[in-house]
Chain A
């Protein structure tokens, strides 16, 4: 039994394993089950209908019957029984008399079923302590049980109960907190407006920022300091004084730079030295060499 193309294609997309299995059902129905089924079914429906249908004699006769002569003398028998149960000795005597006269079915019945029982008195052989029924039994029993419990709780249960309950409630509250319902349609509308608003705000910020930057750059040009030109205005004496005052600091900075850029310092060529010290008079250099004789003698000019 091959499935239709639609089913097969769908199944192959989902699972080639399942698609490869024969669709033949391994179950079998008993032989002749299907040809006989409609007939059996109709017979069953007829039975069902018959069971539900009312009988033709329905309502014509009494549904229940009573023994013959049941209602004759029923009232007097009933009254005798009531008196006997109320414990009236006169009534009991009267009932016995009536029974002896053949008019009391209660007495007759007892005698018929068991003559021995009918001769035994009905007095109870058991006795109860005096005043027992005057005391309220339920209240006595309950008073005794009032402070007793049949159940037990583990030691220290109530001390820790509050903590346990709170610990269980807190996570439960977190879990059971109703989630925010967001309508799919409304969220799409909101998102569109949000995106539009964000785009407008971003555009405004960019425009103002750009204008401000442009204005700044035109009105306030970056100050450029020409150190070489400014230094020519300072006298040599002032420079010497400044160097004398800050010798220790300059040396420290120089040392730090030497340590940090020791490799770079080795790359200074003679040409660099010439260009750097070209403007310094020879006399100054000679004096400097005298003071710092241990330094390397660089050719300057």
Chain B
């Protein structure tokens, strides 16, 4: 990402009680949009994304003191956001009456329910195709396609080997292609 030095400075400021809030505000400003869209693509609705994002930053606030700098802040934030998304989706599945394997259709329904949804637009069809993917493949596709995250970084976020991530991305793209061509 090329911002590691800046993150290191922010972390030093965060550990100083006088500049803690200022540093945290800077961290939020820096990463809020990236994390918001990462979360939004996973949970679809803005209200849900907002809830999850707030939880993410509360966790960051509570854990940043003990953050070990052997990994990048950027990677650590994405990992927290991803875990929060998965926890949220898990809760949604448990709450909904839908069986676990049909939970993707619940997300598709949310996509269709968006006030800007237009079935004729390819961007929306792509979103529907993404929602058909299994969770892991969806995360890998989003991180690679939208966030342009290198596999090396992604392997740190998801704690998965680069080879497995490449395979996941390959499968995801093929499934999306199939969905777009055949539906």
A residues at B contact (CB < 8 Å): 3-4, 6-7, 11, 14-15, 17-18, 21-30, 33-34, 37-38, 41-42, 44-45, 48
Contacts and interface: CB of A to CB of B under 8 A. Distances in A.
Contacts, number: 89
B180 interface: yes
A28 B117 CA distance: 11
A38 B25 contact: yes
A3 B141 CA distance: 13
A29 B46 contact: yes
Contact of A11 (B32, B46, B57, B145): B145
B177 A17 contact: yes
Secondary structure at the B interface, as helix, strand, loop or mixed, is: helix
Contacts of B170: 14
11 contacts: A7-B144, A15-B177, A18-B126, A26-B116, A26-B117, A26-B127, A27-B40, A27-B46, A29-B36, A41-B57, A44-B54
A45 B21 CA distance: 10
Kindly state the interface size class of chain B when it binds its partner: 35 or more
B126 A17 contact: no
Contacts of B54: 41, 44
Contact of A38 (B29, B126, B176): B29
Interface in B149-183: 169-170, 173-174, 176-177, 180-181
A162 to B, nearest CB: 34
A4 B148 contact: yes
A38 B24 CA distance: 9
Given A25-B123, A41-B57, A15 B173 contact: yes
Given A7-B148, A26-B123, A34-B32, A15 B40 contact: no
Contacts of B177: 14-15, 17-18
A69 B122 CA distance: 77
A3 B147 CA distance: 9
A30 B117 CA distance: 16
B121 A26 contact: yes
